[in-house]
Amino acid sequence: MQFFNAINFAFPLLASTTEAADSSMVVAAVLLSLVVVYLASKVGGELSNRVGLPPVLGELLGGVVVGVSVLHLLVFPGGGADGSSSMIMTFLQTTAGLSPEATPAVFTAQSEVISVLAELGVIILLFEIGLESNLKDLMAVGVQALVVAVVGVTVPFAAGTIGLMTLFGIDAVPAIFAGAALTATSIGITSKVLSELGRLNSKEGQIILGAAVIDDVLGIIVLAVVASLAKEGTVDVGQVIYLIISASGFLLGAIVLGNVFNKTFVAIADMLKTRGELVIPAFIFAFVMAYLAAIIHLEAILGAFAAGLVLEETDKRKELQRQVCPIADMLVPIFFVTVGAKTDLGVLNPAIPSNREGLIMASFLIMVAIFGKVITGFSVFGQSQINRLAIGVGMIPRGEVGLVFAGVGAASGALSKPLGAAIIMMVILTTFLAPPLLRFVFPDSDDGIDDSAPLILDGSPGKELAIETPSSVVSTAKDSGNVSS
């Protein structure tokens, strides 16, 4: 018990949720939750991979199976769920002596811990994606990415808002809220799929990634405006201007920092001799950047992504990628399984009368959500040989970003239950459609190798031969005797 009390002291989250929470039971519940998460992610990912789909889709579907829609192994407060609906709480009551009176406190604390781990997972995911991205490449497609992002925000927002008001008679404020939910793109889901397809550093991948980052910033500004409108009936112009300036300044500052911090980081890492001499300073920097983004009312994931971009410019990039990878393997699945687990497919049941109106509105929102983003790819200019359809498809998933809009809208009272259900259904389908659609529009990506990557031959003594090239080039090089296996 002293050990668990020490944990409780170090992590007041376990105790602050409610005074009645037993720290040992909370730890047990969290451990069981992680077992469920990892089993769901591994089984789902492997099955998805075997049928030729991105593993991230399997992780999301695995989360749906173990979540509130099917098995109720991993459920979270909200939407009517409580400790009595959690199979993990029931298991603890049966095997560990958890009392019914203590169950609500343990359930709340366990849910908060898993949610925090999921947030940490997506922060590390975006840090890893930043390390895999090239700042110069992103800047090279900056104008195209900006155009794609602006089109991807304005078209679905305008079409969704006007359509709901004219076709369904929805009032202006809830219609604007629903339209705003159509704007943002999930960086985490799209970037993960692009990485799995080996297309992250392709021209299309860089435009998608750059546009998704700008999309997220614009989405945060739109959310602030709409939330202010829903709460007070007026828009706080000062807050909007502040968000625009802070978002632009943060991203530009990260780019400038990359030019002056690289050598300093390498020098610090070379001075350290104990275990974690490279990865620990890197995570300190990533978390500081994430914190700075959060306190200026941006998404913490943007700060982590910016940190990855900065460190990608250092000589330690390859080694840092190798060290970050196993940590990401531990935490990133928690994020994707949690997104799936929180998805309630019950809102799709037409047998429930209250769902029918939401299903009709959802059908409209889904069409706007898909076509409003697909059209963005055709706004790319000055690129004669580029997969514009792939760019549009890469912008489709809303994921956790759309759920944030739905949650804020529901909390403000601006959304009716049918409209809230329609937004959730739109988020569900766009999130699950994007991975297989990306696989379809990149039909030559089955080998998982980025065709746009250059051939890098390092023949230095004692170094491994690094090849980043299509398999056909490798085969030709081998046949000519220029490359050894």
Interacting residues of 106 by C-beta distance below 8 A, sequence separation 6+: 21, 22, 25, 26, 29, 83, 89, 92, 98
SS3 78: strand
- What pLDDT score was predicted for residue 305? 82
Residues 301 and 169 in one domain: yes
Residues 69 and 145 in one domain: no
Is 326 within a domain?
A: yes
Q: Pick from 80, 113, 146: which residue ends a domain?
A: 113
Q: Transcribe 11-67 into DSSP letters.
A: -THHHHT-TT--HHHHHHHHHHHHHHHHHHHHHHHHHHHHTTS-HHHHHHHHHHHHS
Is 141 within a domain?
A: yes
Q: Please measure the distance between the N-terminal and C-terminal CA atoms of the chain and give it in whole angstroms.
A: 56
Q: Transcribe 300-350 into DSSP letters.
A: HHHHHHHHHHHHHTSTTHHHHHHHHHHHHHHHHHHHHHHHHHT--GGGG-T
CA of residue 416 relative to chain centroid, distance = 27
Mean pLDDT by 10 residues, the chain (485 residues): 43 45 88 96 90 77 89 82 87 90 91 92 86 72 83 91 90 84 80 81 84 76 69 66 77 75 83 90 92 81 84 84 93 88 78 80 92 88 79 81 66 73 80 82 56 40 40 40 40
Query: Look-up: residue for tokens 């591994």?
Result: 42
Radius of gyration of the chain (CA): 23
Residues 31 and 160 in one domain: no
CA distance 16 to 140: 48
CA dihedral (98, 38, 121, 90) in degrees, to 10, reads -20
Query: Look-up: residue for tokens 């219609």?
Result: 175
- What pLDDT score was predicted for residue 15? 43
Overall domain count for the chain:
2
Interacting residues of 443 by C-beta distance below 8 A, sequence separation 6+: none
State both tokens at 197.
């397809």
Burial of 74-110, coded b for 16+ CB within 10 Å and e otherwise, reads bbbeeeebebeebebbbebbeeeebeeebbbbbbbbb
- What pLDDT score was predicted for residue 411? 61
Residues 85 and 211 in one domain: no
Residues 108 and 137 in one domain: no
- What pLDDT score was predicted for residue 449? 42
- What pLDDT score was predicted for residue 463? 40
Q: Pick from 113, 142, 171: which residue ends a domain?
A: 113
- What pLDDT score was predicted for residue 459? 40
CATH classification of the domain holding 181? 1.20.1530.20
Per the structure, the complete domain to which residue 232 belongs is given by: 126-441
Is 475 within a domain?
A: no
Contacts 24+ apart (CB under 8 A), 238-247: 242/297, 243/297, 243/298, 246/296, 246/297, 246/298, 247/217, 247/220, 247/221, 247/296, 247/298
Residues 40 and 174 in one domain: no
Residues 173 and 140 in one domain: yes
Closest CA to 336 of 58, 30, 19: 58
